[in-house]
Amino acid sequence: MSKIRLNVLGISYSQTQTGAYALILTEEQGNRRIPIIIGGFEAQAIAIQLEGLNPPRPLTHDLFHNFAKSFDINLLEVTIYRLFEGVFYSKLVCKHDNRKVSVDARTSDAIALALRFKCPIYTTDEIIKQAGIILDENQELDEELTPEKFHPTESKSHEPSDELKELSVQELKKMLEEAVKNENYERASIIRDEINRRKKE
């Protein structure tokens, strides 16, 4: 079974399921995308890692990572190996004392851990054929899949307030640090979006 490596493209607020998010994976060597619906907690865990935010206390996936590293357990790879009735099945391939062990995991948890261990994510061509969205080089992404939408705490109603627009970048960075310190990751994500928007101007 040949494996296809995937990268995390980002996260989008789901327009089809209230309170859910779409995790977008993309072929490393290709133009196919796989959207996977995940819950808010998992979306937050993935987004925090993607955005480089450092929570003052470890979240569940951070705790797993720290625990595994403390006992010299390494996550070698994540494989999405099955798609059945719309549900993706994944496994963690771990190594400890030169012994490899496969552990079943929810795909959202597996991706959150893969980002923390900085290990590769794989799937099969069959799964991509079943669930993938093929994009031509000149074809633009759907509005929901544009990079600007890839934030788990952002929906169409989460526009930056006039308050944020009037602040300097330095003030925004200070507010971002405060939001992370208070574990208000939703506000932190909105502030980070505003900082990134300023950088593009």
Let me know if 192 is exposed, middle or buried by CB neighbors in 10 A (0-12, 13-18, 19+).
Answer: buried
Q: Whole-model pTM above 0.75? A: no
> For tokens 């992370």, what's the residue?
180
Q: How far apart are CA 108 and CA 37, in angstroms?
A: 9
Q: Where are the domains of the chain?
A: 1-136, 154-201
Q: Which CATH architecture has domain 1-136?
A: Roll (3.10)
Write the DSSP symbol of residue 66.
H
CA-nearest of 44, 8, 41 to 24 is 8
CA dihedral for 145, 149, 155, 156, sign (positive or negative): negative
Q: Give, for all 201 residues of the chain, the pLDDT tens digit.
A: 689 999 998 887 766 566 678 899 999 988 889 999 898 888 888 988 888 888 888 889 999 999 999 999 999 999 999 999 889 999 999 999 999 999 999 999 999 999 999 999 999 999 998 988 875 544 444 434 433 333 333 333 344 567 788 888 888 888 888 887 777 766 777 787 778 777 776
